Structure 1
Amino acid sequence: MGYINKNDSEYWNDYWSQGHKTSFGGTFINGYEGIIKNIWEDYFDSLRDNSQVLDLCTGNASLLRLAQNSQHRIRGISFTGVDYAQIDTTDGFGGQAGINLIFGINIEKLPFENKIFNYVISNFGIEYSDLSQSVAEASRVLLSGGELQFVCHCHDSILIKSNRHELEMLIQMFCPSDVLDNLTELIDALTDREVNNPQKSAEQIMKFQEACKIAERVRLELNESITYMADTFKKPFQESDFIGFLRYLLNSQCEDKQQALSLFKADLHSHKARLTAMINSALTKEQLATLKNLLKKNQLSKLSVNDVVNEDGKIACRISAVKE
């Protein structure tokens, strides 16, 4: 990612540390696929030998891994990937010849000298930054005649529309007295019932009976909440596997139910923050027009802005330019 606030940065640190190859979680589980993969493979095929390439917001370096697969066609090319998140790549990819990964880097203030890269690229990354600064930095480090290519989120893409619907679901889940509150209250009641069973005293009998009443009431409320979520957010709710987690949580083999629920809620909260950042970063038509002006202002010409479309619809916008 580019420069994001501290809390968001921590969410992305956790995300990349889980081994995700792209910023979409399960959407491109094996790295970028389909038309996105084709766009970049074609681009890497066009790179001049002995070039220096900078990948902004590299994440787990999926784009550079894709580029490496083209190395039998391109020789002597060095790739540098930077990201604001602190990512621990344990597979040794960053130590390979021609690959340099640098983390904790704000792309709005790159730690490189002027005019040293032949190419600056970004795949679903630079739009998270302040473009007035990151575009200026991209231009600064580009050699004259150097090229940039960005594939960015756009507000009307099917990816953003799908993620927006999922975000609406998560917001609903976190609403007071909704599904997560219901589930929390149910687990608390079940825990109280377990603590006070066997019933050895009058006080324990009373607490046990009260916990049973609360558990039954909340169970009915939870069922109503789940039915509403499943009807309103059909696809994202199914893909969230909330029901699968619920079965696990209520299984006797789950010993610390409160801890398991706490971890689940924390993961959902992080996912909600990442979706919010993604949707807020998606470029509108007005922002694309502003971006074109920024590119021109920073001595970048031969501008090209095109929609990236597959059989399902628009999934991104592709921006390219050449340094004067």
Structure 2
Amino acid sequence: MQHWSMYWQTSGVLNSFAEGDANQGYTGAIKKYWDEMFDSIPQGATIVDAGCGNGALALLAYDFGRANQKDFVIEGLDAAEINPVKQFEKQPAVAKKLKAIKFHSATPIAAAPYTAESVDAVISQFAFEYAEQGPALTKVGEILKPGGMLITMSHHASSKLVKDSKVGVEVLTAILEGSPLFQQADLIIDLAMQAIPQLGDEGWAKYSHNRILSQSTKWIMDSLLQRFDKPEQQTYVKDAIARVARVLQAMNGSNLEQARKQLTYDYHVLADHKKRLDEQLQSAYAKKDITALKKAATKAGLKLEAEPFDLDGEVFGWTITAEKA
């Protein structure tokens, strides 16, 4: 869970898997879907965003409630360590809204801190599927009021998002585990620590061993770009290469320790991203998973329905609703 905690503690990150993309929460058809769902929830309802991250979906509920005099009471919980208000302290307008939402950090769905039949709706965007399904559904069935709803948009095993994640895992695995890119960069920094105190920065630039290692590193980068030349692969490759290149280009005799720390940090950022992509692949629902989910929901006293959700002519996820009798 540490890889998710680190992600949500990045300033300005609102929704998941925002690397390289606009990070302004959910818009367009996704927002339209949720607005329709919020419209069906009664005025004054208590709504819990399960797996809330830094509050992208909770904010949608907040905005809809304010705009439509719904007076929702909104809370969010996440198994990771979160502090949404702190992450948006440089964006006062967003932080002000987040302060109106009660967030529960390090709180899995199955440990939701609510009394029986005290919640009107549990909502979730790309999060509920990560939980252990049996205990999570049992807890939801326990805390929902009669007639209360579980409403989620969850990852679909055949979606473009999931297909892209498979690409990401393949490329990042090759870079981090199958290539010496980061090890080579670390070797250059190690050599610089020994040579620059004697040669100075100008002497280091001309140093034959530095030139050989730098050429070798460039060859590794070029090889990765040639190997993963498809557009969907290039996003991951170029990001990794750019991280290494920035460290080496900025490196000089006065910041060698900082350069090594930055290289280590960038490696772990990519490794954590790979972990999150792996978990997404493992959590995405196929049709057989929906069948199992319906059975588990029935045991929890919920009647569950699921439909594919299309976006731009392609399957994007599952919309899942489950009502408590």
Query: TM tier, shorter chain?
Result: 0.7 to 0.9
* AA at the equivalent of 2:240: F
Q: 2:127 maps to what in 1? A: 125
Give the Å deviation of 1:49. 0.8
Q: 1:319, 1:177 → 2: CA distance?
A: 41
Identity of aligned residues (%): 22
Determine if contact 2:62/2:97 at 8 Å carries over to the other structure. Answer: no
Q: 1:84, 1:66 → 2: CA distance?
A: 21
* AA at the equivalent of 1:315: F
Determine if contact 1:59/1:87 at 8 Å carries over to the other structure. Answer: yes
Residues 215 and 155 of structure 1, relative CA distance in 2, 3 Å threshold:
farther
Residues 252 and 290 of structure 1, relative CA distance in 2, 3 Å threshold:
closer
Residues 306 and 142 of structure 1, relative CA distance in 2, 3 Å threshold:
same
Q: 2:90 maps to what in 1? A: none
Figure out how many residues of one structure are paired with residues of the other and give that number. 305
Give the Å deviation of 1:94. 4.1
Give the Å deviation of 1:109. 2.3
- Of 2, 24, 29 in structure 1, the residue corresponding to residue 17 of structure 2 is 24
Moved more, 107-116 or 239-248: 239-248
Gaps of 5+ in 2: 87-94
Determine if contact 2:59/2:98 at 8 Å carries over to the other structure. Answer: no
Q: 1:55, 1:252 → 2: CA distance?
A: 42
Is 2:282 aligned against 1:284?
no
Deviations 1:256-303 (A, max 9, x none): 3222212211222222222222222112222121101111222212x3
Give the Å deviation of 1:212. 4.5
Q: 1:219, 1:252 → 2: CA distance?
A: 14
- Of 2, 14, 26 in structure 2, the residue corresponding to residue 10 of structure 1 is 2
Determine if contact 2:14/2:23 at 8 Å carries over to the other structure. Answer: yes
Determine if contact 1:150/1:319 at 8 Å carries over to the other structure. Answer: yes
Determine if contact 2:78/2:108 at 8 Å carries over to the other structure. Answer: yes
Q: 2:195, 2:266 → 1: CA distance?
A: 22
Give the Å deviation of 1:191. 3.4
Give SS of 1:32's match: coil
Matched ranges for 1:130-209 at <5 A? 130-175=132-177, 177-197=179-199
Is 2:324 aligned against 1:317?
no
Q: 1:176, 1:162 → 2: CA distance?
A: 20
Q: Normalization by structure 2: what TM-score?
A: 0.85
Deviations 1:157-203 (A, max 9, x none): 100111221121111111255322222223323333323315xxxxx
Matched ranges for 1:1-324 at <5 A? 9-18=1-10, 19-26=12-19, 27-70=21-64, 71-88=66-83, 89-90=85-86, 91-96=95-100, 99-175=101-177, 177-197=179-199, 212-234=207-229, 235=231, 236-238=233-235, 240-252=238-250, 255-256=255-256, 257-301=259-303, 303-311=304-312, 313-324=314-325
Q: 1:237, 1:192 → 2: CA distance?
A: 35
Determine if contact 1:21/1:29 at 8 Å carries over to the other structure. Answer: yes
Determine if contact 2:47/2:119 at 8 Å carries over to the other structure. Answer: yes
Q: 1:177, 1:159 → 2: CA distance?
A: 26
| CA RMSD after TM alignment | 2.5
Moved more, 233-242 or 72-81: 233-242
Deviations 1:215-261 (A, max 9, x none): 34433432332223223334344455334334422325662322221
Determine if contact 2:50/2:127 at 8 Å carries over to the other structure. Answer: yes
Gaps of 5+ in 1: 1-8, 199-204
Q: 1:274, 1:311 → 2: CA distance?
A: 25
Determine if contact 2:305/2:322 at 8 Å carries over to the other structure. Answer: yes
Q: 2:318, 2:207 → 1: CA distance?
A: 55
Q: Which has the higher helix share?
A: 2
Q: 1:218, 1:175 → 2: CA distance?
A: 20
Determine if contact 2:75/2:102 at 8 Å carries over to the other structure. Answer: yes
Deviations 1:119-151 (A, max 9, x none): 111111111111011011111111111111111
Determine if contact 1:22/1:28 at 8 Å carries over to the other structure. Answer: no
Residues 317 and 192 of structure 1, relative CA distance in 2, 3 Å threshold:
same
